[in-house]
């Protein structure tokens, strides 16, 4: 139903994309404020959904409001469910039709507010309420946030594990838009799709010391695809401790630990020797193990060869899943501070390793510089997230850059099991 808007209409006030339903009541026509008591616009509009007759709307279908009166037009529409979630929509330029552009939640109650004006610019209003039906699909996407509740270092990313893979960019956008991360103090951050079932969230710089971070999902009841709907998720709350950054310089053979920007201690160390060079870059503490048995056979060293080893290792702070640690290495004390003789780990005296073990926590930063090794992988071998430039990180968001490729095969090939 196309018509020319009345001359009294201010076209510039037309709302084309309605995300939060900003009201157009502040606009005026020929200098006259539209402040009169709104009339009931029930006879001026038509709605494609149920109208209080006990039926429920199909969440698979978009909402549509049309102007039935040829002398009137729609000026604004908002749709919001009982949980406070708005439905995005689009209003035609001539004000004759509005339709939703984002999916409805299933098994939810919605309030629809429609604003209109007649040919003289007088305002009309109509409020409609309706329920949506339960999802017909049996598949529900659940989200598990990580890490577990607790206190972590400034490098700890927030993770989201999905119960089902999501490959389509538009479907990823629906999921990502519903995953909320808030911090106090507030910092800007972004989700990055690691693969079809995993996302990581981090800010541009490390988290502020003392911050509180909360993650939650608004996916419950939201349609993701014809056969996949959002399910409930347990929210997450973690806190951030002091800023602890340990910098290992493979050239000077020193590890220096900084707390909140102040140097606390410098420790003589040894890192990976030629052929077993320690990875450069930023790593995040994954955990601490008082005792680990390390064997050369786990990284392909033949038993009985010159490089073979089978050693009890104490005060082991893990920084990669493939077995890179900062740990006690009493057998190499004579080389610590002078030469690199390990198989990839950072070794130090037992006393220094015990001190380091007690002064770091999960999420703290361990950064290696001046090694001849490869750079720490962003994903797949721990939390190398901070080695990715911020622009590239943001491009891994479905709301910013699209669908990332995920870990490269050559990165996976470099993962090594436990080494000393």
- Tell me, yes or no, whether 249 and 396 share the same domain: yes
Q: Does one domain contain both 297 and 159?
A: no
Q: 375 with 142: CB under 8 angstroms?
A: no
Burial class for 306, CB neighbours closer than 10 Å (0-12, 13-18, 19+): exposed
Are both 41 and 125 inside the same structural domain? yes
63 & 145 share domain: no
In this structure, the answer to whether residues 122 and 150 fall within a common structural domain is no
- In the beta sheet, which residues pair with residue 104? none
Q: What is the residue-averaged pLDDT of the chain?
A: 85
Tell me the catalytic residues.
327, 345
Of the residues 113, 131, 149, which one is the last residue of a structural domain?
131
Looking up residue 71, the CATH number of its domain turns out to be 2.60.40.3780
User: What is the model's pLDDT at position 416?
Assistant: 45
- pLDDT in the model for residue 60: 78
- Indicate whether 2 belongs to any domain: no
**Range 216-245 average pLDDT:** 94
348-351 CB contacts, 8 Å cutoff, 24+ apart: 348/255, 348/267, 348/268, 348/269, 348/270, 349/268, 350/314, 350/315
- How many CB atoms lie under 10 A from the CB of residue 5? 16
Q: How confident is the model at residue 23 (pLDDT cuts 50, 70, 90)?
A: very low
CATH number at residue 319: 2.40.440.10
Q: Are 325 and 317 in contact (CB under 8 A)?
A: yes
**Owning domain of residue 120:** 11-131
167 touches 403 (CB < 8 A): yes
Is residue 165 a part of any domain in this protein? yes
Give the pLDDT score at 371: 96
Residue-wise pLDDT tens digits, 269-319: 999 999 899 999 999 999 999 999 876 556 666 666 666 666 889 999 999
Domain end, chosen from 97, 131, 165, is at 131
Least-confidence region, from 26-40, 70-84, 217-231: 26-40
- Give the H or E element holding residue 299: none
Last residue of a domain, one of 107, 131, 155: 131
On the question of pLDDT at 37 being above 90, the answer is: no
With 0.85 as the threshold, say if the pTM is over it.
Answer: no
pLDDT-based confidence at residue 187 (cuts at 50, 70, 90) = very high
Do residues 263 and 197 share a domain?
A: no
Residue bearing the bigger pLDDT, 92 or 27: 92
pLDDT at 419 over 80: no
Looking at the structure, do residues 273 and 288 belong to the same domain, yes or no?
Answer: yes
* Per-residue model confidence (pLDDT) at position 176: 97
- Region 31-37 average pLDDT: 57
Kindly report which listed range (15-24, 93-102, 178-187, 385-394) carries the lowest average pLDDT score. Answer: 15-24
Do 331 and 401 have their domain in common? yes
Question: pLDDT above 70 covers what percent of the chain?
Answer: 81
Name the residue with higher pLDDT: 323 or 198.
198
Q: Are residues 190 and 68 in the same domain?
A: no
For the stretch 204-229, pLDDT in tens is: 999 999 999 999 999 999 989 877 99
Structural domain total, the chain: 3
């Amino acid at each position: 139903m196309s018509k020319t808007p009345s001359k009294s209409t201010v076209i510039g006030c037309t709302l084309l994309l309605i995300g939060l339903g900003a009201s157009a009541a502040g606009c005026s026509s020929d200098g006259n404020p539209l402040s009169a008591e709104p009339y009931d616009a029930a006879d001026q509009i038509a709605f494609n959904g149920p109208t209080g007759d006990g039926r429920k709307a199909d969440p698979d279908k978009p909402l549509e409001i049309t102007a039935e009166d040829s002398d009137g037009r729609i000026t604004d529409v908002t749709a919001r469910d009982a949980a406070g979630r708005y439905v995005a929509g689009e209003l035609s330029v001539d004000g004759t039709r509005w339709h939703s552009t984002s999916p409805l939640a299933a098994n939810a109650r919605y309030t629809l507010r429609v604003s209109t004006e007649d040919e003289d610019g007088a305002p009309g209003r109509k409020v409609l309420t309706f329920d949506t039906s339960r999802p017909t699909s049996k598949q529900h996407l659940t989200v598990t946030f990580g890490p577990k509740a607790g206190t972590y270092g400034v490098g700890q990313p927030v993770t989201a594990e999905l119960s089902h893979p999501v490959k389509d960019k538009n479907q990823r956008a629906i999921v990502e838009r519903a995953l909320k991360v808030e911090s106090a103090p507030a910092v800007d951050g972004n989700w990055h799709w690691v693969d079809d079932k995993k996302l990581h969230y981090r800010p541009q710089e490390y988290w502020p010391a003392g911050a509180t971070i909360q993650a939650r999902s608004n996916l419950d009841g939201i349609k993701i695809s014809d056969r996949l709907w959002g399910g409930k998720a347990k929210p997450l709350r973690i806190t951030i401790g002091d800023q602890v950054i340990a910098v290992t310089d493979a050239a000077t053979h020193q590890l220096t630990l900084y707390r909140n920007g102040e140097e606390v201690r410098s420790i003589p160390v040894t890192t990976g020797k030629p052929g077993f060079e320690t990875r450069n870059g930023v790593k995040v503490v994954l955990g601490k193990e008082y005792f680990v048995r390390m064997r050369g056979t786990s990284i392909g060293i033949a038993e009985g060869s010159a490089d073979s080893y089978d050693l009890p290792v104490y005060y082991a702070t893990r920084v990669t899943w493939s077995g890179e640690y900062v740990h006690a290495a009493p057998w190499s004390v004579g080389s610590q501070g002078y030469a690199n003789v390990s198989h990839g780990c950072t070794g130090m005296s037992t006393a220094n390793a015990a001190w380091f073990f007690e002064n770091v926590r999960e999420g703290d930063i361990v950064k290696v510089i001046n090694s001849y090794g490869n750079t720490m992988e962003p994903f797949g071998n721990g939390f190398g997230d901070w080695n990715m430039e911020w622009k590239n990180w943001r491009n891994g968001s479905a709301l910013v850059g699209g669908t990332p490729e995920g870990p490269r095969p050559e990165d996976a090939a470099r993962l090594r099991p436990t080494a000393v």
